Amino acid sequence: MSFDVQEYYSKLGVGDVILAFKGSITTDLINNVLEEVEAKLEDVDEEAKIRKKVYNVLVEALQNLYHHVEELPDNLKTKDNFEAKFGILVVTKINGSYKISCGNFITSEKIKFLKDKIDKINSLSRDELKDMYKFILNHQKLSAKGGGGLGLVDIARKTGNKLEYTFQHYAEDYYFFNLDVLIT
């Protein structure tokens, strides 16, 4: 049985939902989400420090989605009515912490690279993360898309928390990658 993205999405909305989105990850969408979340955090008078962290993580998470969303082939897209560049993003507040969940389709060949990268990040101390960040910053070129391989490292550094993830088989060679980030 294949992974049910819709059901998964509906289960993410536990707690106080600040924003929930599924659909095409476009530049306009990113702009709207950032504006909306920023306004909401200001409304609830969230502490500046936390507000900035949430905003920063959100920017990186959204831009990761934007750059890495894998387009499903037409036959799969139409089966479940997925839009082009489909991704999900849910921001919730649970017990005083913010949780940002994001998800997108990827092909199986990319799983190992991504898993190794996250496991590596999760194994590092704060100082080691700083060194890793500085090394990538100084030694790796930006891709043509503008990605720098720094997004996940930055998220881990800013939150101080481990990155939680799952890869669920969807269909054929496609998996759904979900990342949960906690800002405490």
Binding-site ranges for other proteins (CB under 8 A): 27, 30-31, 34-35, 48-49, 52-53, 55-56, 59-60, 63, 66-67, 130, 133-134, 137-138, 140-142, 145-148, 150-151, 153-154, 158
Query: 11: Cβ–Cβ under 8 A, 6 or more apart, which residues?
Result: none
Query: 61: Cβ–Cβ under 8 A, 6 or more apart, which residues?
Result: 89, 100, 102, 151, 155, 179, 181
Instruction: Give yes or no for a contact between 175 and 167, defined as CB atoms under 8 angstroms apart.
Output: yes
Name which of 4 and 36 has its Cβ closer to other proteins: 36
Q: Identify the residue whose tokens are 């536990």.
A: 14
User: Taking the complex as a whole, how short is the minimal distance between the CB of residue 106 and other proteins, in angstroms?
Assistant: 19
User: Taking the complex as a whole, how short is the minimal distance between the CB of residue 5 and other proteins, in angstroms?
Assistant: 24
44-155-178 Cα angle (round to 5): 90
User: Taking the complex as a whole, how short is the minimal distance between the CB of residue 98 and other proteins, in angstroms?
Assistant: 15
Name which of 134 and 169 has its Cβ closer to other proteins: 134
